[in-house]
Amino acid sequence: MSTTSLKLPEELKQRAASLALDLGMTPHAFMVDAIRKAAAAAEKHAEFVAQAKAARKKMLKTGLGFDAAEVHAHLRQPVTAAQASGKQASFAIAAPKAKSWRG
């Protein structure tokens, strides 16, 4: 494991130390965990943006997209325990189908 030095404002250092103590961990462990969580969130965000860009590129290429009202209605349906476990895939409102959005 490599060593890295961080220059923190005193107020932030004290907040981290206090929160670490409340959580029963060292300030070092608290900061490492915070950086780990921030890195994971940044990676997840980058993946989301990449997927969105790929979906946009596909939409522009194919001219197909989904009606927002249909998607929202489908997503608002309550999920039963059977559906959540994957045992039952039927929904009251069918999943929206891609449609041409070009005039």
List Cα–Cα distances, 17 to 20, 34, 64, 77, 84, in angstroms.
5, 12, 53, 44, 41
Q: Is 91's pLDDT higher than 70?
A: no
Q: What is the pLDDT of residues 46-84, one digit of tens each?
A: 999 999 999 999 999 999 999 999 999 888 888 776 666
Single-letter amino acid, residue 36: R
Single-letter amino acid, residue 3: T
Tell me what the pLDDT averaged over the chain comes to.
90
